[in-house]
Amino acid sequence: MNDFLKKLYDAETPLSLLLLEAREIAEKNDEKELVSYIDSEINGYKAEDNLPDYRVSKEEIVCDIKDVYGNIVEKEYPVDFKLLSDKIGFDLNDINFYDGISIIETSLKNLAKTTALRPIHRELITMLNEVFHSNNPNYHLQAAYHRLPKSTIEYIVIKVRQNLIQAFQKMNKKIADKDFVVSDVPKNKHTITNLTKKIFVTYAWEGDDFNSLIVSFVNFLREKGFDTSMDRKRSQEETAIDFNQMIIEGINNSDKVIVVLTEEYKKRAENFIGGVGMEFKIILEDLKKKKNKYIFVSFGKAKRENVTPIGIAGTDILDLKEDQDKHDFNNLFSKIKKEIIIEFSEVSKNVVEVKKEPIKPFKL
Protein backbone atom coordinates (compact mmCIF):
# COMPACT_ATOMS: atom_id res chain seq x y z
CA MET A 1 0.00 0.00 0.00
CA ASN A 2 2.77 2.45 0.91
CA ASP A 3 4.53 1.67 -2.37
CA PHE A 4 1.38 2.51 -4.29
CA LEU A 5 0.95 5.77 -2.37
CA LYS A 6 4.49 6.73 -3.41
CA LYS A 7 3.47 6.16 -7.03
CA LEU A 8 0.44 8.39 -6.55
CA TYR A 9 2.65 11.19 -5.23
CA ASP A 10 4.84 10.92 -8.33
CA ALA A 11 3.16 13.22 -10.85
CA GLU A 12 5.32 11.79 -13.66
CA THR A 13 3.40 8.48 -13.61
CA PRO A 14 0.26 8.76 -15.82
CA LEU A 15 -2.86 8.74 -13.69
CA SER A 16 -4.65 6.53 -16.22
CA LEU A 17 -2.18 3.71 -15.44
CA LEU A 18 -2.36 4.29 -11.68
CA LEU A 19 -6.16 4.03 -11.80
CA LEU A 20 -5.89 0.48 -13.17
CA GLU A 21 -3.61 -0.53 -10.31
CA ALA A 22 -5.79 1.32 -7.81
CA ARG A 23 -8.86 -0.60 -8.96
CA GLU A 24 -7.14 -3.93 -8.39
CA ILE A 25 -6.08 -2.97 -4.85
CA ALA A 26 -9.50 -1.54 -4.00
CA GLU A 27 -11.24 -4.68 -5.27
CA LYS A 28 -8.97 -6.94 -3.19
CA ASN A 29 -9.85 -4.91 -0.10
CA ASP A 30 -13.59 -5.03 -0.90
CA GLU A 31 -13.83 -1.24 -1.28
CA LYS A 32 -16.91 -1.30 -3.53
CA GLU A 33 -17.61 2.43 -3.48
CA LEU A 34 -14.01 3.21 -4.38
CA VAL A 35 -14.06 0.62 -7.20
CA SER A 36 -17.19 2.28 -8.64
CA TYR A 37 -15.52 5.71 -8.48
CA ILE A 38 -12.36 4.42 -10.18
CA ASP A 39 -14.42 2.74 -12.93
CA SER A 40 -16.11 6.06 -13.70
CA GLU A 41 -12.76 7.86 -13.87
CA ILE A 42 -11.28 5.18 -16.14
CA ASN A 43 -14.24 4.73 -18.52
CA GLY A 44 -15.78 8.17 -18.26
CA TYR A 45 -19.13 9.21 -16.81
CA LYS A 46 -22.54 8.74 -18.41
CA ALA A 47 -24.87 11.61 -19.23
CA GLU A 48 -27.29 10.53 -16.50
CA ASP A 49 -24.56 10.42 -13.83
CA ASN A 50 -24.15 13.12 -11.22
CA LEU A 51 -20.76 14.53 -12.15
CA PRO A 52 -18.32 15.39 -9.33
CA ASP A 53 -17.95 19.16 -8.83
CA TYR A 54 -14.41 19.16 -10.23
CA ARG A 55 -15.74 17.90 -13.58
CA VAL A 56 -18.11 20.86 -13.97
CA SER A 57 -16.71 24.26 -14.87
CA LYS A 58 -18.17 27.63 -15.81
CA GLU A 59 -16.33 29.19 -18.76
CA GLU A 60 -16.88 31.95 -21.32
CA ILE A 61 -18.43 31.30 -24.72
CA VAL A 62 -16.51 32.56 -27.75
CA CYS A 63 -17.74 32.50 -31.34
CA ASP A 64 -16.51 32.71 -34.93
CA ILE A 65 -18.77 35.26 -36.62
CA LYS A 66 -19.45 35.68 -40.33
CA ASP A 67 -21.24 38.41 -42.26
CA VAL A 68 -24.13 37.91 -44.69
CA TYR A 69 -21.60 37.23 -47.47
CA GLY A 70 -20.05 34.34 -45.57
CA ASN A 71 -16.83 36.16 -44.66
CA ILE A 72 -15.39 35.54 -41.19
CA VAL A 73 -15.26 38.91 -39.44
CA GLU A 74 -14.43 37.78 -35.89
CA LYS A 75 -12.72 34.70 -34.46
CA GLU A 76 -13.10 33.57 -30.84
CA TYR A 77 -15.19 36.64 -30.04
CA PRO A 78 -16.75 36.56 -26.51
CA VAL A 79 -20.56 36.57 -26.60
CA ASP A 80 -22.78 36.78 -23.51
CA PHE A 81 -25.79 34.43 -23.62
CA LYS A 82 -26.90 35.06 -20.02
CA LEU A 83 -30.42 36.14 -21.01
CA LEU A 84 -30.86 32.97 -23.04
CA SER A 85 -29.52 30.90 -20.12
CA ASP A 86 -32.07 32.51 -17.79
CA LYS A 87 -34.86 31.87 -20.27
CA ILE A 88 -34.14 28.16 -20.81
CA GLY A 89 -33.18 27.52 -17.17
CA PHE A 90 -29.77 26.12 -18.06
CA ASP A 91 -26.43 27.90 -17.78
CA LEU A 92 -24.88 27.74 -21.23
CA ASN A 93 -21.48 28.61 -19.76
CA ASP A 94 -21.32 25.28 -17.90
CA ILE A 95 -18.96 22.61 -19.26
CA ASN A 96 -19.41 18.99 -18.23
CA PHE A 97 -16.34 16.77 -18.55
CA TYR A 98 -17.59 13.20 -19.06
CA ASP A 99 -14.35 11.84 -20.61
CA GLY A 100 -12.20 9.18 -19.00
CA ILE A 101 -8.87 10.25 -17.49
CA SER A 102 -6.80 8.82 -20.35
CA ILE A 103 -8.59 11.13 -22.84
CA ILE A 104 -8.11 14.12 -20.54
CA GLU A 105 -4.40 13.34 -20.09
CA THR A 106 -3.98 13.03 -23.87
CA SER A 107 -5.74 16.39 -24.37
CA LEU A 108 -3.36 18.03 -21.91
CA LYS A 109 -0.33 16.51 -23.60
CA ASN A 110 -1.43 17.90 -26.98
CA LEU A 111 -2.34 21.32 -25.61
CA ALA A 112 0.46 23.76 -26.38
CA LYS A 113 -1.34 26.97 -25.32
CA THR A 114 -2.40 28.11 -21.87
CA THR A 115 -6.03 28.09 -23.01
CA ALA A 116 -8.18 25.51 -24.77
CA LEU A 117 -11.26 25.65 -26.99
CA ARG A 118 -13.98 23.07 -26.43
CA PRO A 119 -16.46 22.98 -29.37
CA ILE A 120 -20.12 23.45 -28.51
CA HIS A 121 -22.58 20.86 -29.89
CA ARG A 122 -23.87 21.68 -33.38
CA GLU A 123 -27.55 21.63 -32.36
CA LEU A 124 -26.84 24.10 -29.58
CA ILE A 125 -24.94 26.36 -31.99
CA THR A 126 -28.08 26.49 -34.18
CA MET A 127 -30.08 27.79 -31.21
CA LEU A 128 -27.34 30.28 -30.28
CA ASN A 129 -27.20 31.51 -33.86
CA GLU A 130 -30.95 32.17 -33.95
CA VAL A 131 -30.69 34.38 -30.86
CA PHE A 132 -27.49 36.07 -32.04
CA HIS A 133 -28.81 36.71 -35.58
CA SER A 134 -32.09 38.19 -34.29
CA ASN A 135 -30.07 40.78 -32.36
CA ASN A 136 -27.44 41.22 -35.09
CA PRO A 137 -29.26 40.81 -38.47
CA ASN A 138 -26.08 41.27 -40.55
CA TYR A 139 -24.17 38.45 -38.87
CA HIS A 140 -24.30 34.71 -38.19
CA LEU A 141 -22.37 32.35 -35.93
CA GLN A 142 -20.00 30.11 -37.87
CA ALA A 143 -18.87 28.19 -34.78
CA ALA A 144 -19.01 28.45 -30.99
CA TYR A 145 -16.71 27.18 -28.25
CA HIS A 146 -16.13 27.26 -24.54
CA ARG A 147 -12.77 28.89 -23.93
CA LEU A 148 -11.10 27.68 -20.77
CA PRO A 149 -7.68 27.91 -19.11
CA LYS A 150 -5.46 24.84 -19.26
CA SER A 151 -5.45 24.81 -15.44
CA THR A 152 -9.16 23.87 -15.47
CA ILE A 153 -8.35 20.61 -17.25
CA GLU A 154 -5.23 20.04 -15.14
CA TYR A 155 -7.36 20.43 -12.04
CA ILE A 156 -9.43 17.35 -12.96
CA VAL A 157 -6.31 15.16 -13.05
CA ILE A 158 -4.94 16.71 -9.86
CA LYS A 159 -8.26 16.34 -8.01
CA VAL A 160 -8.63 12.66 -8.98
CA ARG A 161 -5.06 12.01 -7.83
CA GLN A 162 -5.82 13.84 -4.59
CA ASN A 163 -9.01 11.78 -4.05
CA LEU A 164 -7.06 8.57 -4.62
CA ILE A 165 -4.36 9.62 -2.16
CA GLN A 166 -6.97 10.38 0.50
CA ALA A 167 -8.85 7.12 -0.17
CA PHE A 168 -5.70 4.98 0.02
CA GLN A 169 -4.41 6.78 3.10
CA LYS A 170 -7.75 5.95 4.73
CA MET A 171 -7.55 2.35 3.54
CA ASN A 172 -3.98 2.09 4.79
CA LYS A 173 -5.05 3.34 8.22
CA LYS A 174 -7.93 0.86 8.30
CA ILE A 175 -5.53 -2.02 7.57
CA ALA A 176 -3.06 -0.73 10.17
CA ASP A 177 -5.83 -0.52 12.80
CA LYS A 178 -6.70 -4.17 12.19
CA ASP A 179 -3.09 -5.15 12.82
CA PHE A 180 -2.82 -2.95 15.91
CA VAL A 181 -1.95 -4.86 19.11
CA VAL A 182 -3.42 -3.53 22.36
CA SER A 183 -0.26 -4.30 24.30
CA ASP A 184 1.59 -1.82 22.10
CA VAL A 185 -0.27 1.10 23.71
CA PRO A 186 1.97 2.99 26.17
CA LYS A 187 0.85 2.22 29.73
CA ASN A 188 1.67 5.67 30.98
CA LYS A 189 -0.69 8.15 29.34
CA HIS A 190 1.67 10.98 30.30
CA THR A 191 4.26 9.67 27.84
CA ILE A 192 2.06 10.88 24.98
CA THR A 193 2.76 14.58 24.47
CA ASN A 194 0.79 17.10 22.49
CA LEU A 195 1.41 16.57 18.80
CA THR A 196 3.12 19.40 16.95
CA LYS A 197 0.79 21.10 14.47
CA LYS A 198 1.86 20.66 10.85
CA ILE A 199 1.33 23.82 8.84
CA PHE A 200 1.73 24.54 5.14
CA VAL A 201 2.04 28.18 4.05
CA THR A 202 0.99 28.98 0.51
CA TYR A 203 1.10 32.26 -1.42
CA ALA A 204 1.60 33.79 -4.87
CA TRP A 205 5.21 34.40 -5.84
CA GLU A 206 5.90 38.12 -6.21
CA GLY A 207 9.03 40.22 -5.76
CA ASP A 208 12.13 39.20 -3.78
CA ASP A 209 11.14 41.37 -0.80
CA PHE A 210 7.72 39.76 -0.48
CA ASN A 211 9.04 36.21 -0.98
CA SER A 212 11.68 36.85 1.70
CA LEU A 213 8.94 38.05 4.04
CA ILE A 214 7.14 34.73 3.55
CA VAL A 215 10.34 32.87 4.44
CA SER A 216 10.62 34.97 7.62
CA PHE A 217 6.97 34.24 8.47
CA VAL A 218 7.50 30.48 8.09
CA ASN A 219 10.62 30.61 10.23
CA PHE A 220 8.74 32.68 12.85
CA LEU A 221 6.08 29.97 13.13
CA ARG A 222 8.73 27.25 13.46
CA GLU A 223 10.34 29.23 16.29
CA LYS A 224 6.94 29.28 18.01
CA GLY A 225 6.75 25.47 17.99
CA PHE A 226 4.74 24.84 14.81
CA ASP A 227 6.09 22.40 12.20
CA THR A 228 5.71 24.80 9.28
CA SER A 229 6.70 24.26 5.66
CA MET A 230 6.53 26.09 2.33
CA ASP A 231 7.54 25.58 -1.28
CA ARG A 232 11.08 26.97 -0.91
CA LYS A 233 11.79 24.78 2.09
CA ARG A 234 10.54 21.70 0.26
CA SER A 235 12.43 22.56 -2.95
CA GLN A 236 15.69 22.64 -0.96
CA GLU A 237 14.97 19.14 0.35
CA GLU A 238 14.32 17.61 -3.09
CA THR A 239 16.41 18.34 -6.16
CA ALA A 240 13.64 17.74 -8.72
CA ILE A 241 10.41 18.45 -6.88
CA ASP A 242 7.12 18.53 -8.79
CA PHE A 243 5.28 21.66 -7.64
CA ASN A 244 1.81 20.27 -8.43
CA GLN A 245 2.64 17.23 -6.33
CA MET A 246 4.02 19.49 -3.59
CA ILE A 247 0.75 21.45 -3.43
CA ILE A 248 -1.29 18.25 -3.08
CA GLU A 249 1.03 16.87 -0.39
CA GLY A 250 1.19 20.22 1.42
CA ILE A 251 -2.59 20.47 1.63
CA ASN A 252 -3.26 16.79 2.35
CA ASN A 253 -0.56 16.21 4.95
CA SER A 254 -0.99 19.37 7.02
CA ASP A 255 -3.21 20.07 10.00
CA LYS A 256 -3.52 23.69 8.92
CA VAL A 257 -2.99 25.54 5.66
CA ILE A 258 -2.22 29.25 5.91
CA VAL A 259 -3.06 31.13 2.71
CA VAL A 260 -1.34 34.52 2.44
CA LEU A 261 -3.65 36.75 0.41
CA THR A 262 -2.37 39.60 -1.75
CA GLU A 263 -3.72 41.47 -4.76
CA GLU A 264 -1.61 39.21 -6.98
CA TYR A 265 -2.98 36.06 -5.30
CA LYS A 266 -6.55 37.35 -5.80
CA LYS A 267 -5.94 38.00 -9.51
CA ARG A 268 -4.46 34.56 -10.17
CA ALA A 269 -7.04 32.75 -8.03
CA GLU A 270 -10.08 34.40 -9.63
CA ASN A 271 -8.77 33.80 -13.14
CA PHE A 272 -7.40 30.33 -12.30
CA ILE A 273 -3.92 31.26 -13.50
CA GLY A 274 -1.02 28.83 -13.03
CA GLY A 275 -0.28 27.06 -9.76
CA VAL A 276 -2.30 29.52 -7.68
CA GLY A 277 -5.37 28.94 -9.86
CA MET A 278 -5.04 25.16 -9.57
CA GLU A 279 -4.39 25.35 -5.83
CA PHE A 280 -7.36 27.67 -5.23
CA LYS A 281 -9.71 25.18 -6.91
CA ILE A 282 -8.45 22.47 -4.55
CA ILE A 283 -8.95 24.78 -1.55
CA LEU A 284 -12.50 25.74 -2.58
CA GLU A 285 -13.41 22.07 -2.92
CA ASP A 286 -11.74 21.11 0.37
CA LEU A 287 -13.36 24.01 2.25
CA LYS A 288 -16.76 22.34 1.84
CA LYS A 289 -15.62 19.58 4.20
CA LYS A 290 -12.79 21.11 6.24
CA LYS A 291 -13.61 24.72 7.04
CA ASN A 292 -11.33 24.85 10.08
CA LYS A 293 -8.29 23.61 8.18
CA TYR A 294 -7.67 26.87 6.33
CA ILE A 295 -6.50 30.19 7.77
CA PHE A 296 -6.63 33.12 5.36
CA VAL A 297 -4.31 35.98 6.28
CA SER A 298 -3.02 39.23 4.86
CA PHE A 299 0.02 41.28 5.78
CA GLY A 300 -2.13 44.40 6.14
CA LYS A 301 -0.65 46.20 3.14
CA ALA A 302 -3.94 46.40 1.18
CA LYS A 303 -7.64 46.62 1.91
CA ARG A 304 -9.45 43.38 2.64
CA GLU A 305 -11.63 43.58 -0.48
CA ASN A 306 -8.56 44.06 -2.69
CA VAL A 307 -6.91 40.80 -1.61
CA THR A 308 -9.90 38.49 -1.11
CA PRO A 309 -10.86 36.23 -4.05
CA ILE A 310 -14.59 36.11 -4.80
CA GLY A 311 -14.79 32.41 -3.89
CA ILE A 312 -14.05 33.20 -0.20
CA ALA A 313 -15.66 36.65 -0.03
CA GLY A 314 -17.54 35.89 3.20
CA THR A 315 -14.62 34.20 4.95
CA ASP A 316 -12.75 35.68 7.93
CA ILE A 317 -9.42 37.21 6.84
CA LEU A 318 -6.86 37.76 9.61
CA ASP A 319 -4.86 40.96 9.31
CA LEU A 320 -1.46 39.86 10.66
CA LYS A 321 -0.16 43.45 10.98
CA GLU A 322 -3.07 44.36 13.23
CA ASP A 323 -2.81 41.06 15.12
CA GLN A 324 0.91 41.72 15.68
CA ASP A 325 0.47 45.31 16.88
CA LYS A 326 -2.61 44.79 19.07
CA HIS A 327 -2.49 41.17 20.20
CA ASP A 328 1.09 39.91 19.75
CA PHE A 329 -0.21 37.31 17.21
CA ASN A 330 -2.58 35.80 19.77
CA ASN A 331 -5.42 35.55 17.24
CA LEU A 332 -3.17 33.68 14.81
CA PHE A 333 -2.01 31.24 17.48
CA SER A 334 -5.58 30.61 18.64
CA LYS A 335 -6.64 29.75 15.08
CA ILE A 336 -3.70 27.37 14.62
CA LYS A 337 -4.22 25.63 17.96
CA LYS A 338 -8.03 25.82 17.77
CA GLU A 339 -8.17 27.31 21.25
CA ILE A 340 -10.69 29.95 22.25
CA ILE A 341 -9.48 33.34 23.50
CA ILE A 342 -12.53 34.44 25.47
CA GLU A 343 -13.58 31.73 27.90
CA PHE A 344 -17.21 32.13 28.89
CA SER A 345 -18.65 30.85 32.16
CA GLU A 346 -20.60 27.60 32.35
CA VAL A 347 -24.36 28.06 32.12
CA SER A 348 -25.68 28.32 35.68
CA LYS A 349 -28.35 25.87 36.83
CA ASN A 350 -29.97 28.71 38.75
CA VAL A 351 -31.98 30.62 36.19
CA VAL A 352 -32.94 34.15 37.19
CA GLU A 353 -36.61 34.91 37.60
CA VAL A 354 -38.23 37.77 35.73
CA LYS A 355 -40.03 40.16 38.06
CA LYS A 356 -43.66 40.43 37.22
CA GLU A 357 -45.38 43.80 37.24
CA PRO A 358 -48.83 43.54 38.88
CA ILE A 359 -51.87 44.80 37.03
CA LYS A 360 -53.83 47.35 38.99
CA PRO A 361 -57.56 46.79 39.43
CA PHE A 362 -59.75 48.52 36.90
CA LYS A 363 -61.24 51.69 38.37
CA LEU A 364 -62.62 54.82 36.64
Instruction: Please give the pLDDT value at position 222.
Output: 92
Instruction: Label residue 47 by pLDDT band (50, 70, 90).
Output: confident
Residues of each domain in the chain carrying CATH 3.40.50.11530: 196-337
Instruction: Please give the pLDDT value at position 71.
Output: 95
Instruction: Please give the pLDDT value at position 232.
Output: 62
Instruction: Flag whether pLDDT at 253 surpasses 60.
Output: yes
Instruction: Please give the pLDDT value at position 287.
Output: 86
- Paired residues of 94 in beta bridges: 58
Q: Which residues lie below 8 Å from residue 332, measured CB to CB, with a gap of 6+?
A: 295, 297, 318, 320, 323
Instruction: Please give the pLDDT value at position 113.
Output: 86
Q: Does residue 289 contact residue 251 with C-beta atoms inside 8 Å?
A: no
CATH architecture of 196-337: 3-Layer(aba) Sandwich (3.40)
Instruction: Label residue 189 by pLDDT band (50, 70, 90).
Output: very low
Instruction: Please give the pLDDT value at position 349.
Output: 85
Q: What is the mean predicted confidence (pLDDT) over 85-107?
A: 92
Q: pLDDT, tens digit, for every residue of 20-44?
A: 999 999 999 999 999 999 999 999 9
Classify residue 291 by its DSSP letter: G
Q: Does residue 42 contact residue 21 with C-beta atoms inside 8 Å?
A: no
Which amino acid is it at 34? L
Q: Rounded to whole angstroms, how far apart are CA atoms 102 and 44? A: 9
| Mean of pLDDT over the chain | 86
Instruction: Label residue 12 by pLDDT band (50, 70, 90).
Output: confident
Instruction: Please give the pLDDT value at position 178.
Output: 64
Instruction: Please give the pLDDT value at position 245.
Output: 66
Instruction: Flag whether pLDDT at 191 surpasses 60.
Output: no
